[in-house]
Structure 1
């Protein structure tokens, strides 16, 4: 995903559309043997997470779209994924766009995203907490309790205010266009996704204004 930060082509062609412009490159870490590989399929990279292994070891995974959501279920941006979603997609999207790393990242594979990010950019992510949302936590039977949002909520009032279901709410909305997009040409699919998410954001903001 180095093109995420270097390409000058329009988002209709690159499939990358974020509200924040790229501010740094996604470097390649030559001493990490599997860093240049597009997929997380090597057993050495999967740790002890059963769910991560069962999901990313499948050869049938296809491309999709990664969307970053804030805790209000507002889309911060998206990019197309040609093969299958991996930790690099989340890492690169955040590292190349955000001047300062988020204090909390909620992700269904946060247990594996945390070491992936910290091994590569420990200083940048030094104040970030990686948490698994409550909906997906029950599948992580071999992962540490420190990764569970439900556990963090017991001791941190700030985490209690985080809407961990915002991502699932947004992804559920994306399912509305999944079938339509699958029949479109690439450029049309990207534009259709952009329009859908623009309308989604406007509706969320309007609902918030009425509260």
Structure 2
């Protein structure tokens, strides 16, 4: 099966659409947002947070930037939702110096279940992960890479229709639940579903 980034049949070439694998859901990128890629099967675009004003492609990352990478979910067992599930399933109970590449549990902070990867005695090498249940019930995986990295990376799915990866500039902060609500609201407001045939 081949997925295409489809340009609308209207004369407005700026309208981009992405269809789910089963063809029942269509995401239409709002005209004000300019995608930074024309690769098949993916739409990538960025905006300022919280104003939601678009960021034109090709600019250096900004301190208030959220960038979204949207693609169809190939199959539920291969969706981005599995990042959170697999982390929770495979994490060990504490750091093991014989297995330094594994994630280990460090506890709960509010709604976030927290994990780390790397030697806790070397804080500059640590990556921290946050897993939480979003407002729409989906599990969300957030990676806070080593301190010198500028972005948080987030993985989730939209009701198994679309896989979503987005990045958050670290100066925006760590209210991942609220940021996720903004991202998913934008995606949901611009997704239409095929109506079932009437009898």
TM interval, short-chain normalised: under 0.3
TM-score (norm 2): 0.23
> Which structure has greater helix proportion?
1
Larger radius of gyration: 2
> Which structure has greater strand proportion?
2
TM-score (norm 1): 0.22
